[in-house]
Amino acid sequence: MAKSKTEKPVILVTNDDSISAPGIKALVEAVKDLGKVIVVAPDKPQSGMGHAITLGHHLRLQKAHIVDGVEAYTCSGTPVDCVKLAVDKVLHHKPTICLSGINHGANHSINVIYSGTMSAALEASIESIPSIGFSLLDLSIDADFTAAKHYARIIVKQLLADKKLDKHLCLNVNIPKVATSLIKGIKICKQSYAKYDEKFVERTDPHGKKYYWLAGDFIINDKGQDTDLYALEKGYVSVVPVQFDMTAHHMIEKLNLWEL
Amino acid sequence: MAKSKTEKPVILVTNDDSISAPGIKALVEAVKDLGKVIVVAPDKPQSGMGHAITLGHHLRLQKAHIVDGVEAYTCSGTPVDCVKLAVDKVLHHKPTICLSGINHGANHSINVIYSGTMSAALEASIESIPSIGFSLLDLSIDADFTAAKHYARIIVKQLLADKKLDKHLCLNVNIPKVATSLIKGIKICKQSYAKYDEKFVERTDPHGKKYYWLAGDFIINDKGQDTDLYALEKGYVSVVPVQFDMTAHHMIEKLNLWEL
């Protein structure tokens, strides 16, 4: 890591549920004595924003309050914008690590690709900042973050203690919705193949025009026992290392047989 | 493929530059005799929207015109929304393939992760629809799509001719900004490690408050000769197979050494 032995690590914290979500406050509380924590989070909910960035509009930064003694800002853009703007205009350098969450709701399996929480973490990893996204399997605004805070702290401490840290390391951590005492431990996993089967709900507005709401079922196609979904079902915290190289390397040989 | 020998393949076409962009018209023109083409594209520009989906708002579909004889609709959502809504509410079944683009501007290297064009293609592949995203290395509204159309047609024909097609195949195709006669051919590549070094431009509004525009330089960290960027620099069309499994499989062994 870049910091010297005497310096405190700088921990950038963001999320996608906005600065007012209990989950980000829980994350700050869980790690605030592990380094110098600085929060730059969206000023409004940004769930499902994936890796969106703001190209056609300007961005705003505003000072905010989240936990006493912690410097905090809101950003008018997406979770990925928050990371980019935090590095360039708030910190003026790369933080030691970046944490995102704790998300209200699961980000296992294919959710990693739609998730603003995980996209913020992945953006940090693209920028050579080791990162972790945390998600609790409870969508509720009143979700109990006790177990999530406990495990977030354990994993962040391990990340900070790793002397040979890969600067592109990005972890997708999901925590089951059970009491801390019922969690069986932590499992390193791969992303499960499970996805949504979309069925849009059709409605008609007062002017007779149709509109559609995204809905649907979650379909699990993966019978593997090494996946995040399997670990969560068995009562473990799942940890999936995530990468931004999206190349399907296994397809290159086959494609070279095409007549192009 | 699902179609019988006598049936025409169904080709869903979308993009992120909106239905009014010349690039999507070029793509429809390039492939319209290869199957039954149906267009569902954003009603406004959606560049940089990544894999964003619309969760807190409803979506609208409107009939539109793009090329004579081709059924076309606009969708009020993101490129990924377009694919989801097209499958469920326009086609009522999966198309044979999905094509996205032709994007006005490059989507090589890390751009794949920010690109609405490529996210639409990847969404199709998640839904077991083989897909291709096409991008021309020319941002201009007046870009010349002649070479892009020529190569798009070659690659789509090969995709449709593949009898053992992987239903999750997703290709990221970039075309250099040169005349067709100067393009050296097509290269199968991996995603280059090159990224943006963001420097936000700071401005002050008439009320004395600061705001920020995303800007910055593109930094090439990859010296490889098997990458999309290298192929494009040498005058080739680059084809990168892309996958939605974001697991960093090579990190699992190392993480299992952590004390968790």
Is A177 or B217 the better-scoring residue by pLDDT?
A177
Closest residue of chain B to A52, computed from CA coordinates: B49
Is residue B86 in a domain? yes
Closest residue of chain B to A80, computed from CA coordinates: B114
Identify the CATH number of the domain in which residue A87 sits.
3.40.1210.10
Beta strands in A111-243 (DSSP E): 131-136, 170-175, 185-188, 194-198, 201-204, 210-213, 216-220, 236-241
Average pLDDT in chain A: 95
The reply to whether residue A59 touches residue B212, judged by beta carbons under 8 angstroms, is: yes
Residue A5: band (very low, low, confident or very high) from pLDDT cuts 50, 70, 90:
low
Whole-number pLDDT of residue B246: 97
Residue A12 has pLDDT above 70, yes or no: yes
How far apart are alpha carbons B151 and A44 in whole angstroms?
Answer: 43
What is the mean pLDDT, run by run of 10 residues, along chain B of 260 residues? 68 98 98 98 96 94 97 98 97 97 97 97 97 97 97 97 93 97 97 90 96 91 94 98 97 92
Is residue A212 in a domain? no
The reply to whether residue B89 touches residue A58, judged by beta carbons under 8 angstroms, is: no
Whole-number pLDDT of residue B1: 47
Whole-number pLDDT of residue B5: 54
- Which residues of chain A are within 8 Å of residue B84 when distances are taken between CB atoms? 198, 200, 214
Domain that holds residue B161: 10-191+224-255
Pick A258's closest partner by Cβ from B158, B212, B247. Answer: B158
Q: Among residues of chain A, what percentage have pLDDT more than 70?
A: 98
C-alpha A206: how far from chain center? 39
Is B195 or A171 the better-scoring residue by pLDDT?
A171
Residue A154 has pLDDT above 90, yes or no: yes
What is the value of pTM for the model shown? 0.95
Residues B153/B225, Cβ–Cβ less than 8 Å: no
Query: If you average pLDDT over residues A82-92, what whole number do you get?
Result: 97
Whole-number pLDDT of residue A75: 98
Is residue A217 in a domain? no
Is residue A137 in a domain? yes
Is residue A224 in a domain? no
Count of structural domains within chain A:
1
Whole-number pLDDT of residue A221: 84
Interface test with A, best of B46, B53, B139, B203 (most A CBs within 10 A): B53
Cis, peptide link before residue A66, omega less than 30° from 0: no
Pick B260's closest partner by Cβ from A51, A154, A242. Answer: A154
pLDDT digits (tens, 9 = 90+) for A50-73: 999 999 899 999 999 999 999 999
Q: Which of residues 235-254 of A touch B (CB under 8 A)?
A: 239-249, 251-252, 254
